[in-house]
A and B are shown apart, each in its own frame.
Chain A
Amino acid sequence: MKLNFAELGGVLVAKMAEDRLEAANAPRFKAQMLARLGQGVTRVVLDMSGLDFVDSTGLGALLSCNKAMAERGEMVLAGPGEKIRRLLAITRLDRVFSIVDDVDQGVRSFQG
């Protein structure tokens, strides 16, 4: 699992280089994210636009990151496609995560 990090307007933007977040790679994703978030990050946008498949273990990893950020800031999911949005709706996690259409909207949500 390769993760790319960038800073936009004081917001950490994280993007996965793979198109699947599943049981096979979710533990590595979670470990890398939590390590980065632990470096004093308070605002993070996770770019989901390249993701084509997320399973329940992937959801668990996202929840773990969300939980970590809830202690000291906020995490926003940006640009999940129709399929991932359907999964979030079925599991009712669309009521738990903050979801925006794209990274720019996510960054602006912290600046407004």
Chain B
Amino acid sequence: MDFTRRMTLKVGSELKNVSLVGLAVRGVCSELALSQGQAYILELAVCEAVNNSIQHAYDQDPEREVEVRISLDSDQVVFQVLDWGRPMQGFEGLGLVSPESRDPRSAPEGGRGIYIIRKAMDRVEYAAGSQDNVLTMIKFI
């Protein structure tokens, strides 16, 4: 018997919608044996992925849609963020190290989204297809 539970969300490509996705992820995380801090980082990672689709794949075109698929079973939760816009280039090399610096005058302001996703999840895969782009994020529980 398949005990996996699944949910699919679609949001318009506007940043104001991202918190709605966050609330849904927060709800799913409440089903898991996670600390508040761990749940927050998962919510944050999914929001970062949706932000990326809205800002970089769609240039914030509100007519486009981002889809978030969540599946939950006994030992893992899988988040997939799909868009049909411009794919990310060189994903394998993105976000491998934190762009931090001890000097407050030189710490870069951007470039932490993918890093946060990689830190939050146990497995991260990106597939840029001929039609859709799918970021798959897996957390083992």
Chain A binder among B5-13, B109-117, B132-140: B109-117
Interface size class of A (residues with CB under 8 A): 20 to 34
By secondary structure, the A interface counts as helix
Chain B interface secondary structure, helix, strand, loop or mixed?
Answer: helix
Interface size on B, residues (CB 8 A): 32
Q: Is B98 an interface residue (CB 8 A)?
A: yes
Does A11 interact with chain B (Cβ within 8 Å)? no
Known contacts A23-B18, A86-B41, A96-B100, A56 near B105 by CB under 8 Å? no
Q: Which of B47, B100, B103 contacts A55 (CB 8 A)?
A: B47
Contact with B along A58-95 (1 / 0, CB 8 A): 01110110110011000000000011001100111101
* Chain B residues proximal to chain A, CB less than 8 Å: 15-16, 18-19, 22, 36-37, 40-41, 43-44, 47-48, 51, 54-55, 98, 100-105, 107-110, 112-113, 115-116, 119
A-side residues, CB < 8 A to B, are 20, 22-24, 53, 55-57, 59-61, 63-64, 66-67, 70-71, 82-83, 86-87, 90-93, 95-97
